[in-house]
Amino acid sequence: MKWKVYIGKFWSTTPSQPWARLWAIVLAILIISFSTPSSILAQTSSTQTATIKIGVAAGLTIYVDRNLSFGSVVSGTGVDSVAITSTSAGHVTIGGSNKTVYVTLTPPSSLTNGSNTIVYTPRAGYNSSADDPSTATSMFPSGQTSFKLNTHVAGKNYQGYVYLYGSINVGSVPAGSYSGTYTVAVTY
């Protein structure tokens, strides 16, 4: 079998030569693909950007504005209490962003003077809407709570308040100064 090449009729599109039509299409595709820049045919690289956003909350502050004080008591007098609304109750201000804070209170189980002890029954409350102990919510028996710092003080941050109070049972103990440490831990 001999092959014939019809150079003069290669571009012919007459029905009698269907192979010529096929070769014309193939040749046209090859010419276009080799003469077209590769950036038009396919993208070889791509770049996109993303934005990262973060909100940084104001740091927490804890101020012990007033310590809980039972004042002077007489040995053997029994139970003595400090109410939440008393000026002898402890007062703690928590400052930060308008966010929820988690508060954990760890009270002492007793007040000590060397090896001598006075039993302490802790109580605490919090208020996130105003510095008002009369409308505070109790935090015990668990000693843990969470609340949103809602009170905005002009020129400052948002605040919430914790009030420390309770009772002691003064047995027959030697005279002296008795104390204990109340830990207030706050996190966002």
Return the CATH number of 61-187, one of 3.40.50, 2.60.40, 3.60.21, 1.10.287.
2.60.40
Backbone phi, then psi, for 38, in 5-degree steps?
-65, -25
Which pLDDT band holds residue 18 (cuts at 50, 70, 90)?
Answer: low
CA torsion through residues 133, 138, 144, 150, sign: negative
- What's the mean per-residue pLDDT of the chain? 82
> What local confidence, expressed as pLDDT, does residue 169 receive?
96
- Could you tell me how far CA 42 lies from the centroid of its own chain? 46
Q: Is the separation of the CB atoms in 105 and 141 below 8 Å?
A: no
Question: For the chain, which residues make up each domain, given as ranges?
Answer: 1-43, 61-187
> What local confidence, expressed as pLDDT, does residue 13 receive?
46
Token pair, residue 62, equals 């804890």
Query: What average pLDDT does range 18-29 have in this prediction?
Result: 59
Q: Is the pLDDT of residue 143 over 60?
A: yes
DSSP for 43-85 reads ------------PPPPPPEEEEEE--------TT-EEEEE-TT
> What local confidence, expressed as pLDDT, does residue 53 receive?
72
Q: Is the separation of the CB atoms in 174 and 46 below 8 Å?
A: no
Token pair, residue 184, equals 């207030």
Percent of the chain scoring above 70 in pLDDT: 75
Q: Is the separation of the CB atoms in 85 and 121 below 8 Å?
A: no
Q: What is the pLDDT of residues 31-74, one digit of tens each?
A: 555 555 555 555 677 788 787 777 666 688 999 999 999 999 99
Query: What average pLDDT does range 160-185 have in this prediction?
Result: 95
> What local confidence, expressed as pLDDT, does residue 45 receive?
78
The closest of 158, 118, 164, 168 to 143, measured between CA atoms, is 164
Which pLDDT band holds residue 17 (cuts at 50, 70, 90)?
Answer: low
**What phi-psi label fits residue 166: left (phi over 0), alpha (psi between -120 and 50 degrees) or beta?**
left
